[in-house]
A and B are shown apart, each in its own frame.
Chain A
Amino acid sequence: MTRPLRYVPADRPSRGRDFAIFVALVTLALGFATIGQERQIVVSQYLRATILYPFLRLHGAFEEHAVTVKSTRQLASQRDSLAAELAAARRVAADVGQLRHLLGLGALDPGSFILADIVPGRPHIGDSHTFLVAKGRVDGVEPPVGVLAGDGIVGIIRTAGGTTAIGHLWTHPEFRVSVRTESGSAVGIVRPRQEDDGRMVMELEGTPYQEDVPLGSLLVTSGVSSLYPTGIPVGTVRAVSEVYAGWAKSYLVEPSVRPDEANVVLVWRRPAAPEVVDLLPR
């Protein structure tokens, strides 16, 4: 049997003092509740910076831990998916190698990628459509060349110095990329477009009128002009945007990568010499 907590009886003189304290505190609490939000925030900020600071730090640590755990799980999941994709890609590469050998073509060089950080400060501030990466010509960056993140196209490097390079995000008004559907049934040019609410999306232009691009189709880079590697996701077709008097259609495209999601990017290092293949029948 546990010993119960003992109540503290109050004698008559202390009751009067207790009541006075109570009245004073109620007055103070009422005053605090009615001083207005701005003044309350001043008091709150003081308390949060002093007594509550350890708890807020603790909450921050919890939050950081939760984010780390989540990121680790996401990374593990992405790594597993990538491993599966890599295995499939190796089989395709082997088949392609055999076919090229049979056709008497040289080995295919898809180029490689340079891992680069996007320098903080863009594009979270202002409405800038340009970005800076902390890699330049010394590292093998040869503009103009495409920049991508894990999920798709981010933009294009326009100029490069020794150790840095400047590029345009896909939101830049002059950005264009040649695309095709994954099946190759339709091709076109994607450019940025600002929606009525100010949100940036993409628009697929130049698809023939009689060529329907199914909604939900993934658009990938076609590789034309050697600015981007082939087959990199650009966006997903969301809706028909405009129909040009029976001769062309344009589509709204949801981008695969939002500029503010990209912190680490891959700059394409294209193969040493562009390959020229004569596909015309002899």
Chain B
Amino acid sequence: MESSETRTVVLVLGFTLLHFSLRPLFVDWPVAPDLLTAAVLLGGLFLRAGSAAILGFSLGILEDAMALGGGWTALLYTVAAYMGARFRDLIFADSRLFVPLYLFLGTWAIHASIAALTGSLDVTTGLVIAPIDAVLTTVAGGLGELLIARASR
């Protein structure tokens, strides 16, 4: 396995384990980093599109089973991971701002979509809570990527 793939797997696995382990803590907070969404988006960025879709679907099903989310998370994560893998080359993939911007916009879009699909989308959720969640997720994702990159040097 190549170094980059290993790092991606470690990153995705680490975020997934942290997400499910720390879930009771995050659920009590009004806003929190969404590590599972970060895992899906980063997985989509660094994996092939098919693998990314499988990753998104698998994590989405697990999240739906844990949160009884109605099955929409699996759909959204599959689409998000696939689209992340497919369109990464079309935008400024070499820019330093690409990954943070991608994580921020991706998390915001996913959270707003979940709220819309479950009928709980309002101005506060869409324009306040989801963006703050996205900022926190971006910070967590960036830190995770940095840590993995430094550890593998």
Residues of chain A touching chain B, judged by Cβ–Cβ distance below 8 Å, are 2-10, 14-15, 17-22, 25-26, 28-30, 32-35, 37, 40-41, 43-44, 47-48, 51-52, 55, 58-59, 62-63
Enumerate the 6 nearest inter-chain pairs by beta-carbon distance, A residue then B residue, closest first: A33-B71, A18-B50, A18-B49, A47-B65, A29-B75, A2-B149
**Do A32 and B64 form a contact, CB below 8 Å, given A17-B50, A18-B48, A55-B23?**
yes
CB atoms of B78 and A29 under 8 A apart = yes
Residues of chain B touching chain A, judged by Cβ–Cβ distance below 8 Å, are 2, 4-5, 7-8, 20-21, 23-25, 45-50, 53-54, 56-57, 60-62, 64-66, 68, 70-72, 74-75, 78-79, 82, 85-86, 88-89, 93, 145-146, 148-150, 152-153
Q: Which of A9, A43, A52, A63 contacts B89 (CB 8 A)?
A: A9
Inter-chain CA distance A58–B21, complex, in Å, is 7
CB atoms of B149 and A52 under 8 A apart = no
Inter-chain CA distance A33–B114, complex, in Å, is 12
Q: Which of A7, A22, A52 contacts B82 (CB 8 A)?
A: A22
Closest CB-CB distance, A161 to chain B, in whole Å?
Answer: 45
CB atoms of B4 and A14 under 8 A apart = no
**Can you list 15 A-B pairs, Cβ within 8 angstroms, ordered by A?**
A2-B146, A6-B4, A6-B46, A14-B48, A17-B50, A25-B53, A28-B74, A29-B60, A32-B71, A34-B71, A47-B65, A52-B20, A52-B65, A59-B24, A63-B24
CB atoms of B49 and A62 under 8 A apart = no
Q: Which of A7, A8, A33 contacts B74 (CB 8 A)?
A: A33
Taking chain A's interface residues, is the majority helix, strand, or loop, or is none over half, making it mixed? helix
CB atoms of B57 and A25 under 8 A apart = yes
Choose among B54, B74, B145 the residue with the greatest number of A CB atoms under 10 Å from its CB. Answer: B74
Q: Which of A4, A40, A51, A52 contacts B70 (CB 8 A)?
A: A40
What chain B residues lie within 8 Å of A35 (beta carbons)?
Answer: 71
Inter-chain CA distance A158–B56, complex, in Å, is 63
CB atoms of A32 and B149 under 8 A apart = no
**Do A55 and B70 form a contact, CB below 8 Å, given A22-B78, A29-B57, A63-B24?**
no
Inter-chain CA distance A40–B64, complex, in Å, is 9
Inter-chain CA distance A82–B34, complex, in Å, is 45
CB atoms of A18 and B65 under 8 A apart = no
Closest CB-CB distance, B69 to chain A, in whole Å?
Answer: 9
Inter-chain CA distance A29–B76, complex, in Å, is 9
CB atoms of A33 and B66 under 8 A apart = no
What chain A residues lie within 8 Å of B146 (beta carbons)?
Answer: 2
Choose among A17, A33, A34, A52 the residue with the greatest number of B CB atoms under 10 Å from its CB. Answer: A33
CB atoms of B50 and A48 under 8 A apart = no
Closest CB-CB distance, B44 to chain A, in whole Å?
Answer: 11
CB atoms of B64 and A44 under 8 A apart = yes
What chain A residues lie within 8 Å of B86 (beta carbons)?
Answer: 18
Closest CB-CB distance, B114 to chain A, in whole Å?
Answer: 12
Closest CB-CB distance, A280 to chain B, in whole Å?
Answer: 65
CB atoms of B53 and A18 under 8 A apart = yes
Inter-chain CA distance A40–B74, complex, in Å, is 12
CB atoms of B46 and A28 under 8 A apart = no
Closest CB-CB distance, A84 to chain B, in whole Å?
Answer: 34
List the A residue with the shortest CB-CB distance to B79. A26
Inter-chain CA distance A30–B76, complex, in Å, is 10
List the A residue with the shortest CB-CB distance to B46. A5
Inter-chain CA distance A144–B78, complex, in Å, is 68
Inter-chain CA distance A30–B88, complex, in Å, is 25
CB atoms of A26 and B24 under 8 A apart = no
Q: Which of B8, B53, B68, B88 contacts A41 (CB 8 A)?
A: B68
